[in-house]
Chain A
Amino acid sequence: MLSAALIVFREVLEAALIIGIVLTATRGVAGRARSIALGIAAGIGGACLVAYFADTLAQAAQGVGPELFNAGVLLVAVAMLAWHNLWMVQHGRALAKEMNQVGQAVSTGNRPVQVLAVVVALAVLREGAEVVLFMYGIAAAGTDTGTLFMGGLLGIVTGVTVGGALYIGLLRIPTRHLFAVTSGLLVLLAAGMAAQASAFLIQAGLLPAIKPVLWDTSAVLSEKSLFGQMLHTLVGYVDRPTGMQLLVYLFAVALIGGLTLAARTPGRIRTAGVFAVATLAVALLTLFTASPVHAGHKVYYPKVEQGETEIELRGHANYDKDPAIDNAQSYKIGVGHGFTDFWFTELYAEVKKDAGNSSYATEAYEWENLFQLTEPGKYWADMGINIEYSHARKSTDPNEWELIPIVQKQLGQQLITLNVPFVRETGNNAAKKWELEYAWQYKWLGNPALEFGFEGYGKLGDATHWSPSSMQKHQLGPSLFGKIKTDVRHAWKYQLGILFGLSASTPEKTLYGRLEYEF
């Protein structure tokens, strides 16, 4: 009901605003009320006609099977919503200006008053036709007619009220903010519809589920509960989603949201595209793939930038024939800041999924402190140290300290970095010994947006007593890196890599990726 109300509210409000602008611009013109009323009536009539034909069309299409039909309607609605959001952002201002000009032209007698009726009729028709389409989308997602009707009614009443109040001047909300909020909601609504469409296509056997049940939160917040249902219709909440549903959802949010943002700020289309692709890449990586070797597939640089803030998402997934390590996944999300020119600190939450288990759980919280010890280029090599503390969420799991000396050497365009983590568990069930690991990276400094390199990671065992080679873990593989600047001091950084296991106890393949936003 809420999704119907939201859409109708938004469309009615748009139409009301256009009418409001025309009314304002033609204040004192004789016969304007009649013309505008006529326009509104014609617009509504036209929209009803569209609705009627849409129904006939729908009847004809029922032949293809309900799943396919529903998915199709949903996807058309998603596309329309996306296009609509974009269009409003790009043309909203121009539209308001144009309406004003028409209004003024009528006021000054340059154009006949009947023009108003046509302008208003077209505006109402357009919004009305959209309402029809979106309603079909919602109906296809499984809302019954009664609730749909109630929602629509609620939307009309609130839309007319807010639109009217804005016109009279009772409400002084800047419409820009109002549209920004509803635009954001519509992006999530569209993404939810897209995910729902994918569920229909999975049912019809046309799409793989990837994972039948990615997580199960029905005990915490059932989709059937009142609040759950509200979230389901508004933002697409699903208590037992398939992998494909989440993938489609994330992709839709990234794409539609990114494009909407890009349209608002001209010249950011490329950022939006990169963002969507990167989200898709990370989402794919997470879903098709999986802890074993540390969550941290990251080679640290001995460099700190004062005043830089970073939001980071990284993850990896393992593949192996051995089900004991296959499809284990780990993700870290963190926020960090460079407080001085030698100290950068970041807080992370780590989410894990073990092999043979389908649920994700927050495993640990981590505090990372990166120190730059030398001025880059001053000595033969640059040095730094990273001190990390990881606090396990479950008291039965050990906590962990990591001391990571960092050495970096630049040779012309080649950059070689070595990290040597010393890891010690503390607390319950801790191993009570220092374990030695390594991580290295070779990178060719070329085009900042796309660079190529290699990375290797390994675990050698007890620092003073290395494990036999069959028990050591060694991984090696290629990586792509890049940094894309979007503005002064704003940049996206990414890395995508694959590692091949070189020893028996290492996963055959590990896919890993990292996405950072710096500002």
Chain B
Amino acid sequence: MKPTYLMLPTALMLALTAPVPAGLAEYRLVIKNHRFNPANLVIPAGQKIKLVIENLDPTAEEFESHQLNREKIVPANGKTSVFLGPLDPGTYPFFGEFNPKTATGNIIVK
């Protein structure tokens, strides 16, 4: 029995789930009439942020961005949060999966 082989993945897993440092910057997005507000949200580069998405519509929406690799359901009249970054400067488009024509926007990283 060579315990080292099992210890490696165990240690890795413990390290990976280390708690998030407190005090993450929070940003807000509001969905109303199948539109995001603000449609362009500026966030700082190289920093992890917490994006709180609030849905004021009576129908569910899904926040989706391929570039950001995120897909998250926002329940009707509810809210959810998505963690982003750290990101390089640039423009990262996102859209509402259920109303892709109207619900569009960009995360602008500066």
The residues of A with any CB-CB pair to B shorter than 8 Å are 303, 305-307, 341, 374-381, 383, 405, 407, 410, 412-413, 415, 420, 436, 445, 448, 463-466, 483, 488-489
Contact = CB atoms under 8 A, between A and B. Distances in A.
B83 A488 contact: no
B66 A303 contact: no
B9 A489 contact: no
A376 to B, nearest CB: 6
Contacts of A405: 9, 13
B11 interface: no
A374 B5 contact: no
A436 B5 contact: yes
Contact of B98 (A305, A341, A413, A488): A488
A415 B69 contact: yes
A383 B71 contact: no
B89 to A, nearest CB: 10
Interface in B4-40: 5-6, 9, 12-13, 16-20
Contact of A305 (B9, B73, B100): B73
B57 interface: no
28 contacts: A303-B71, A305-B71, A307-B73, A376-B72, A377-B48, A377-B70, A377-B82, A377-B85, A378-B83, A379-B17, A379-B20, A380-B18, A383-B17, A407-B12, A407-B13, A407-B16, A412-B87, A412-B88, A436-B5, A445-B66, A445-B67, A463-B6, A464-B1, A464-B2, A464-B5, A466-B5, A489-B97, A489-B98
- A-B pairs, 7 with minimum CB distance: A377-B83, A378-B83, A448-B66, A381-B16, A412-B88, A464-B1, A410-B69
A448 B66 CA distance: 7
Interface residues of B, number: 32
A260 B79 CA distance: 42
B4 to A, nearest CB: 9
Nearest to A410: B69
A306 B6 contact: no
B107 interface: no
Contacts, number: 66
B84 interface: yes
A403 B68 CA distance: 28
B2 A465 contact: yes
Contact of A445 (B1, B17, B69, B88): B69
Contacts of B83: 375-378
Interface in B50-96: 66-67, 69-73, 81-85, 87-88
Contacts of A375: 81, 83
Contacts of A305: 71, 73
Contacts of B3: 464
Contact of B73 (A341, A380, A464): A341
A474 B87 CA distance: 33
Nearest to A385: B13
Given A377-B70, A377-B83, A445-B67, A464 B6 contact: yes
B35 to A, nearest CB: 16
Given A377-B83, A378-B20, A381-B16, A488 B97 contact: yes
Nearest to A307: B73
Contacts of A413: 67
A466 B17 CA distance: 27
Contact of A377 (B66, B73, B84): B84
Nearest to A488: B98
A221 B83 CA distance: 57
Given A377-B85, A379-B20, A445-B66, 18 more contacts: A303-B71, A307-B73, A375-B81, A377-B83, A379-B16, A379-B17, A379-B19, A380-B16, A383-B13, A407-B12, A410-B69, A412-B87, A412-B88, A448-B66, A464-B1, A464-B2, A483-B66, A489-B97
A493 B78 CA distance: 30
A306 B83 CA distance: 18
